[in-house]
């Protein structure tokens, strides 16, 4: 938490820690399945292994709405 000067009470610092933890974590690439997906900019993620670039959430590679949409699409394909 030393990289940013978070001002305010304890609850704000706890929320910041949660966001920073998901932001800095290595995430799994959807294409090559390696844990080398890193954020380049807000909502832009790049895999260091296969060099693919993905659009996602600001602090996580997927959002809740994106996961729901992918699940609905896969269910529709299975029903067909």
- For residue 19, being part of any structural domain is answered with no
- For residue 60, being part of any structural domain is answered with yes
Q: Is the pLDDT of residue 2 over 70?
A: no
Eight-state DSSP code of residue 43: T
Residue entry with tokens 């978070």: 6
Q: How many CB atoms lie within 10 A of CB 6?
A: 15
Domain count of the fold of the chain: 1
Mean pLDDT of all residues in 60-78 = 92
Domain residue limits at 58: 26-79
- For residue 4, being part of any structural domain is answered with no
Q: What's the pLDDT tens digit per position in 15-62? A: 888 888 888 888 899 899 999 999 999 999 999 999 999 999 998 898
- For residue 40, being part of any structural domain is answered with yes
Asked whether the whole model's pTM tops 0.75, one would answer no
Whether 59 and 42 have beta carbons less than 8 Å apart is answered as: no
- CA 36/CA 29 separation, integer angstroms: 7
CATH number at residue 56: 2.20.25.30
Cβ neighbours for 65, distance < 8 A, ≥ 6 positions apart: none
The number of C-alpha atoms within 13 Å of 30 and in the hemisphere containing its C-beta is 11
- For residue 57, being part of any structural domain is answered with yes
- For residue 45, being part of any structural domain is answered with yes
């Amino acid at each position: 938490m030393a990289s940013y000067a978070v001002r305010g009470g304890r609850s704000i610092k706890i929320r910041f820690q949660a966001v920073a933890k998901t932001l800095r974590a290595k995430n799994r690439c959807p294409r090559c399945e390696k844990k080398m997906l890193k954020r380049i900019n807000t909502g832009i993620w790049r895999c260091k292994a296969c060099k693919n670039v993905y659009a996602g959430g600001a602090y996580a590679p997927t959002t809740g709405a994106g996961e729901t949409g992918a699940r609905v699409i896969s269910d529709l394909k299975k029903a067909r």
